[in-house]
Amino acid sequence: MTDDIISYSSEKKGIVTSNSTSYDLSSDIVSLRPTSFKEYVGQKDAVETLKIAIQAAKMRNEPLEHILLHGPPGLGKTTISHIIAYEMEKELTITSGPTLEKGGDLIGILTNLGEGDILFIDEIHRIPKVVEEFLYPAMEDYAVDFIFDKGIHARSHRYRLKQFVLIGATTRVGLLSSPLRDRFGIFRTLDFYSKEQLVVIILRSAVLLNTLISNDGALELAERSRGTPRIANRLLKRVRDYSQVKLDGKVTKASVRAALELEGIDSLGLTSLDRNYLKTIVTFYKGGPVGIEAISATLQEETDTLVDVVEPFLLKIGFVLRTSSGRKTSETAHRHLKLNP
């Protein structure tokens, strides 16, 4: 590739709104989201399955089946839920598993959903068990049961819901209970993106951010983005700031390298936490095998952070191996870190 500046055009469209205030829905992130499957890049099999399901539901004039999306953070689970709502022309309500602390929290949301509306629950595996029980009749029979009074005066009342669509997203599908998992009609796993797909995403985001980027710069950024669009968009903003302040505003291969060196991100996209994780196994535990709890205690990091954020990409590129007796580092990881166990 040359270092010529690429021109790339994209049409900005409206987006389904929601009441969520998470980082994913901040103004910058929302502005970079594709709003239809025509704009969506990657996840070919999952997108094709969803497009067929949406078209069939429209032909029958019925709501979609409940959908479960699984994959590491930042691969587009929330974005897909926005696109489904856009394609189905329905309202989207967004919440997350940890925020649904009581059954009343979920019931309040369910009773306000209209016919065919979509409820997106992020990190659905973290829903408390007592709240999960309310989801079973809601997903199957579109009804919730209320219990009034206690003891011999207890009475049950069933409240009918309108037919809604539940989209669940999880990074750890194994933590979902079987009764909940089996109630989803469509189950798709999202995988990491290729460098070529990330280049397309970066070029589109650069246009929306009014940033000039060279094709070499986009490729360099894609190689350091860990196969994750969210990381690619975040790093693009950091590189844009660096290029604007230090250079003439054009993002090139050299400016990407210089900016990401300041961020502590190496040529493969590994952060200081990733490198510390690998070095802990190599230096403290002689390359493994070692349990995740021991690594967590040594690094003083939460186990969930290591399992959900750090390990998926390291497993993908073969730097870490999971065995029955614990984690091990590979020879490729040792060569990259220039360490011997």
Active site members: 77-78, 122, 171, 230
C-alpha 214/C-alpha 203 separation (Å) is 9
Phi, psi (degrees; rounded to nearest 5) at 326: 140, -165
Count CB neighbours of 294 within 10 A. Answer: 16
Count CB neighbours of 158 within 10 A. Answer: 11
